[in-house]
């Protein structure tokens, strides 16, 4: 039975065949910046997106968030038009992005000792820019983003895709996540998952 853990160190990590990391809010402190970009994108359409709802959807692919907001509030949303607009607004804020040391120190400590991957619900362009800006891009031979699976988090598909690319069985993967949809996805994939929120709160 896969478990949710609330702390991790090298001693725990060495028990697994691979480590899989969410990007936004796990490796990089981007959640507030993404929310600013969201507000600028959806509020002119009359869509409401309160911060607590945003945090509960953390890790959900951008396209899916737009579809859900439009459907729930009965407002037509041209997803293909708004997707690049939202990502452009986030990229404009990229210079404010900082790594999250509690997690990135672990990445550096485990690099070369076991396979590492990023599994994000974000658009590839934004994820790569975030990893480059935080000097993390070279640590991850596998990067799975919203474009790589038909179903995103909370479905297990993104994590299973990463495990396949790393050639490591799902049960031997340890996931690091900060969002409920990502934790749900990892558990559904049969993987243990570290909820990093207690780790980074202090």
Give the separation between CA 42 and CA 47, rounded to whole angstroms. Answer: 5
Q: Is 113 exposed, middle or buried (0-12, 13-18, 19+ CB in 10 A)?
A: exposed
Annotated catalytic residues are 22
Measured CA to CA, the distance from residue 17 to residue 170 in angstroms comes to 9
Distance of alpha carbon 185 from alpha carbon 177, whole angstroms: 10
* Sheet strands (E) in 3-92: 4-5, 18-21, 28-29
């Amino acid at each position: 039975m896969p478990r949710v853990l609330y702390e991790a160190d090298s001693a725990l990590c060495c028990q697994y065949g691979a480590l899989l990391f969410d990007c936004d809010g796990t490796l990089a402190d981007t959640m507030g910046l993404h929310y600013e970009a969201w507000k600028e994108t959806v509020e002119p359409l009359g869509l409401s997106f309160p911060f607590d709802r945003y945090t509960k959807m953390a890790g959900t692919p951008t396209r899916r968030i737009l579809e859900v907001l439009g459907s729930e509030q009965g407002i037509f949303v041209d997803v293909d038009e708004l997707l690049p607009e939202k990502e452009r607004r986030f990229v404009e804020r990229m210079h404010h992005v900082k790594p999250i040391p509690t997690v990135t120190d672990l990445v550096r400590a485990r690099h070369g000792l076991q396979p590492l991957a990023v599994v994000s619900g974000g658009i590839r362009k934004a994820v790569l820019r975030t990893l480059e800006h935080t000097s993390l891009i070279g640590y991850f031979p596998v990067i799975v983003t919203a474009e790589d699976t038909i179903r995103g988090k909370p479905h297990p598909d993104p994590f299973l895709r990463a495990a396949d690319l790393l050639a490591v069985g799902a049960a031997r993967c340890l996931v690091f996540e900060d969002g409920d949809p990502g934790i749900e996805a990892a558990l559904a994939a049969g993987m243990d998952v570290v909820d990093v929120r207690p780790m980074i709160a202090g």
